[in-house]
Amino acid sequence: MNDAFSVKVNLLKALAITIVVSGHLEFSLLGMFTPYSFQIALFFFISGYLFKEKYIDEVSNYIKRRVKTLLVPYFGYNVFYLFVTIFIARVSGTFWGKTVSLKNFFITPFINSHQFDLIGPLWFVTQLFITLIAFLFLLKTLRSIKDNNLFHLAVFTIIGMSAVPISKLIVMDSIGLILVRTLFSIFFVYIGFYYRHFIEDKIDIFTPKWFGSIIIFQSILWLFNRDFTPQQGIGLSYVLVWARFDNQLIVPILTALTGIWAALFVIKIGFNYLKDIKFINLIGRNTYHIMANHLLIMFIITAIMMKINGIPFEQRAQHDIYWIYEPLQTTYLYFIITITVTTFIGEGLKQIKKFLLNFFAIHKK
């Protein structure tokens, strides 16, 4: 992986994770491209973008790599948030999660990852694992049937387009959720793979005509937008973890595609400036830890705000896990502190891991 490519991927990941965090603070970094409409699809896109063809012939090694990079740290965080949730329950009187059990510890992560509310955003990690393994086997099968990229694109498009309609037809139990999320996300993994291999260096999709067309198209899609309320529905936004698309059928796929284009466009036009900003590159290298810890940091900021203002912490339990203190005044402070702290948590954990590996390597000799 050359330096320019690595930096570009880091910048794209940094944009994706900051959109996730801003979405949980209920504001959008990209204006008319609403945060809940594409940021998770963008992460699946990036995973497909990074997928190497050699993996098709290295199935067992690929699965081992994904277990090591996705599931092992996930369950490490699962243990951590078990103790954090128990501690918070003793302080606030509310247990932010499900009953502690072997099922909720080992099975619920693959269903919705809300066994502990603070680890909820990491549902993406377990779903990504499922999606990538499914993608590997499906792409391998399709290539054995017909080694034609347009044929593969057609199959993955049909699969992706079927996700939302299927969600209307089946029961959204555990199996239904995993099925619909996988159908939806596997499409964007392939789009990332297809973009890198057949579009990126061959077709310029960032010309003025493309820009104008996307903006016009997004403004038409905006006709389907709603406020994020149960009464009005969510419109361009959707909640993939619960396979909640309200009354939409094709809009979630379309708005995810326009959002991904917008993210790629931002990185393309800003690359020469952003590539030398060390902190943004650090964000991109620590997306896993930011995803895992940002709700906890927001929770701590709220506790500090309440302490400063003399409000009993028990009142925190009267709100949902995403509640922040005085959002009109504090939203951007939450955003900056959360991104900064979680990024350096990630860097710190990497240094600890490096130290331990060196320590055991030395003593093993």
Long-range contact pairs involving 153-161 (C-beta distance under 8 Å, separation at least 24): 153/190, 153/194, 156/186, 156/187, 156/190, 156/191, 157/187, 159/183, 159/186, 159/187, 160/184, 160/186, 160/187, 160/188, 160/253, 161/187, 161/250, 161/253
Q: Is the pTM value of this prediction over 0.85?
A: yes
Q: pLDDT in tens for each of the 365 residues of the chain? A: 567 888 999 999 999 999 999 999 988 888 888 888 999 999 999 999 999 999 999 999 999 999 999 999 999 999 999 999 999 998 888 899 999 999 999 999 999 999 999 999 999 999 999 999 999 999 999 999 999 999 999 999 999 999 999 999 999 999 999 999 999 999 999 999 999 999 999 999 999 999 999 999 999 998 888 765 544 555 688 999 999 998 889 999 999 999 999 999 999 999 999 999 999 999 999 999 999 999 999 999 999 999 999 998 878 888 888 889 999 899 999 999 999 999 999 999 999 988 887 877 776 66
Task: Evaluate whether 189 touches 160 at the Cβ level (below 8 Å).
Answer: no
